[in-house]
Amino acid sequence: MKEQKIGKKVMIWGGIVYRLQTDLIIIGSSVDTETYIHNIIRKSKIIKKVNEQYGEWGWMFQQDCARPHTSKKSMDYLQYIYNVLSPWPPNSPDLNPIENLWSIMDKRLKNVQPSNEEEFILEIIRVWEGITWEIIENLVTSMTKRIDLIIDNEGQSINGFFLIYYPKIKKLFCSLQNF
């Protein structure tokens, strides 16, 4: 969810995969299971796009533990059409590249001064569409190293850990934050 000085909140959904980015979905209301399945998963066409690139069942779907994502109906639907990484730890931004992408977008939107919600939505879409393949690929390919770092850090957050002990990761992290 993105909030700006106009006092409005805009709920959005987007997905990234190595060499693939979904369209950004603007969500007009709260998200329940039905909204998630019909207005997000189906509308984004993520399944079709990823299947075309990686083959049916040749990839894994990662999502956070939001209630609409993990409801029985959502999980039944998702597991019927593709591989879902489940269960996924709650509050695990270290293991979810999209969370880093949201942070990059927040930074880019920080100084935006829209006069209304429509302008704000257009700015959000502009920023989403301006995310480079390099950023997406770096976020996605960093997953293996993130997992190794979390194991090395005995399951604790790697936010400070890798900045101290892994200079190459630090360089990547800093370059991503500057986008």
> Model confidence over 84-110: pLDDT tens digits?
766 666 566 567 888 889 989 999 999
d(CA 53, CA 58): 9
Question: Under a CB-based contact definition with an 8 Å cutoff, are residues 62 and 85 in contact?
Answer: yes
- Considering only CA atoms, which of 124, 132, 91 is closest in space to residue 105? 124
Question: Coil, helix or strand for 104?
Answer: helix
Supply the pLDDT for residue 106: 92
- CB contact at 8 A, 37 and 47: no
Does residue 63 carry a pLDDT above 90?
no
Q: What is the CATH number of the domain that holds 64?
A: 3.30.420.10
Residue 50 included in any domain: yes
Give the pLDDT confidence score for residue 167 in this predicted structure. 55
Q: Residue 142 pLDDT more than 60?
A: yes
In-domain check, residue 119: yes
User: Is residue 156 situated within a structural domain?
Assistant: no
Name the phi and psi angles at 13, rounded to 5: -140, 135
In a domain, 152, yes or no: no
Measured between alpha carbons, how far is 35 from 8 in angstroms, rounded to an integer? 21
Split into its structural domains, the chain has a count of: 1
- The pLDDT assigned to 88 comes to 61
**Tokens 């299971």 label which residue?**
33
Examine residue 146 and state whether it is found in any structural domain, yes or no. Answer: no
Q: Interhelix angle for 97-109 vs 167-177, to 10°?
A: 40
> Residue 16 belongs to what domain range?
2-141
**Residue 7: left (phi > 0), alpha (psi -120 to 50), or beta?**
left
Question: 46, 3, 39: which is closest to 21 by C-alpha?
Answer: 46
Of residues 23 and 64, more confidence is placed in 23
Query: pLDDT, tens digit, for every residue of 5-39?
Result: 445 678 899 989 888 898 899 988 789 999 999 88
The label of the residue with tokens 């409801």 reads: 71
